[in-house]
Amino acid sequence: MNNIVFNLGLIGWPVDHSLSPAIHQAALQAVGLKGSYELFPVPRLPDGAAQLEDLLNRMRAGNIQGLNVTVPHKQSVIPFLDDLTAEAQEIGAVNTVVLREGQLVGENTDARGFLNDLRKNLQSFPDDKAALILGVGGAGRAAAYALTRAGWQVTVAARRFEQAEILVGDLCNHRSDQLSAVPLSQEIAAVEPFQLLVNATPVGMAPLDSKSPWPVDLPLPRSCFVYDLVYNPKETVLIQQARALGLPACGGLGMLVEQAALSFEIWTGSEASRFQMYAVVGEDLVEPSESQEVKHDA
């Protein structure tokens, strides 16, 4: 294993803000593996189709050992792959690609990464667990999948309401009583009280770092935990809004590290050093207590 050079990378657009190279380099060094992690900026399809196909062909040829996939390709990469894990297929989004027996297989570590970090940040899950997710892209799909399987009632909101309805239809799979959709507008004020608000939109990240995904002039609910999947900047406008009201809130750095650790373990077969991965982004590793453990039945 130590003689293998792991050439890893991230496909997305844009990717220049990414902390993934530093995180994965720390993971490689921690277990004594040789390799690197490169950023692959690939424009939104159809413009980036040739580049995307070229990168995947390089992986088929053994020149790349692992790829992460981020916005805007978590769903558009699927037709280019040979197979999906059951989890990635049900979520309808891929963030990790691995070569197995000559086939490119799409996996999803976002759902487990999100849930792992959520249980570290919440003291305990309430008995009546209700969440509102803003955004229905790959990250929103993963969050909705994870939460419904952990027993939450989930409402998803999108500016294009039909996209939220599609997500609900795709993810129901015998859980139709746990999922609903609303427009991302003032109408979300009518959503039943919820204990968790998740931002799964890119609003809050450059070039939208001066904006909040929460509708203008609509007050945040007074009793919820705010989880912003945006990790750069560390404190988004939404997090600032939440903390100004005394609400507990966190950004997406923890999820970033957790999903990266799971991807790293898939590619290398080595246990990821989460301690080193958190340290490189300036965060402390906090282990969940027994009261924070979340059952995931997927």
Residues marked as catalytic: 74
Q: Mind giving me the DSSP string for 174-208?
A: T-GGGEEEEESSGGGGGSPP-SEEEE-SSBTBTTS
Give the Cβ contact number of residue 188 at 10 Å.
19
Who's near 153: CB < 8 A, 6+ residues apart?
A: 128, 129, 130, 131, 178, 194
Report, in angstroms and rounded to the nearest whole number, the Rg of the chain calculated over CA atoms: 19
Residues belonging to the chain:
298
In whole angstroms, give the CA distance from residue 47 to residue 24.
Answer: 28
Neighbour tally for 130: CB within 10 Å: 18
Residue of 95, 113, 91, 92 whose CA lies nearest to 229? 113
